[in-house]
Amino acid sequence: SDHNLDYPATPNEVGWESHYPEDSPLADGKKPEFADVGCGFGGLLITLAPLFPSTLMLGMEIRVQVSQYVEDRIQALRVKHADKTNPATLPGGYKNVSVVRANAMKFLPNFFSKHQLSKLFFLFPDPHFKARKHKQRIISPTLLAEYAYVLRPGGIVYTITDVKDLHEWMVKHFMEFPLFEPVDEETLIQEGHRNIIQAVRTSTEEGKKVERNKGDKYLACFRRIEDLPWP
């Protein structure tokens, strides 16, 4: 249950200053543009942070110990990469990345305003195998409406899983939803997103586990299309 969690009533009340230091892209008036839903131990965010030093990123994770771990991990990296004169310091110094403990299925629009995001990640989400548990899946028609709301037209959703049934479920729901269209890997690579796809496949803890077990990885990406005109 969520009664012991504090949620911002609206995105204006999030208080991003507590997440990103003063000398982060926040200073340029930016808001988080990448969201990693169910970020787990944070592997994707940590990989992407230095690749996009002027983009703010946020992980959302429901398990308190796990989100705390990610927070500590980011803090340690910020300390380690604080010295700009050190050639080993990576761009952005991890000031552009943060995490919240949150139930993304309930509170995504409390954090992000309309069209705020350019990328949304669902990497190895919990499969909830049993049919009666499917309503707990992170992809559903109701939730897709929220994802379409927070994503800007042209924005990309990345999904990956090792569970074929879940992959097919996610593809089916995105295809049925009028505000998303599938975009294949080749197109994304041509558009310059090769490093993101690479990170989606290999940077997370779950992705690494699947690799060790020689499991399959099913990638599916979707583009948020323009809002449909009123009739």
Q: Is residue 105 a contact residue for ligand SAM (CB under 6 A)?
A: yes
What does the buried/exposed string (b/e) look like for 1-32 if buried means 16 or more CB atoms within 10 Å of the residue's CB?
eeeeeeeeeebeebebeebbbeebbbeeeebb
Q: Is residue 125 a contact residue for ligand SAM (CB under 6 A)?
A: yes
**Annotation-wise, does 228 bind a ligand?**
no
Among 16, 126, 152, 219, binds ligand SAM (CB under 6 A): 126
CB nearer to ligand SAM: give 26 or 74: 74
**Phi, psi of 153, deg, nearest 5:** -55, 135
The site map against ligand SAM for 15-54 (x = CB under 6 A) is -----------------------xxx--x-----------
Q: Is residue 62 a contact residue for ligand SAM (CB under 6 A)?
A: yes
Residue 65 host element (H or E): helix 64-80
- Relative to beta strand 57-61, strand 34-37 is parallel
Q: Which of 6, 36, 83, 126 is catalytic?
A: 126
Whether 83 sits among the annotated catalytic residues: the reply is: no
- Give the strand order in the sheet containing 117-123: 97-101, 57-61, 34-37, 117-123, 151-161, 218-224, 180-182
Distance in Å, CB of 173 to ligand SAM, minimum: 16
**Annotation-wise, does 205 bind a ligand?**
yes
**Annotation-wise, does 155 bind a ligand?**
no
Catalytic residues: 126
Binding site for ligand SAM (CB under 6 A): 38-40, 43, 60-63, 66, 103-105, 123-126, 204-207
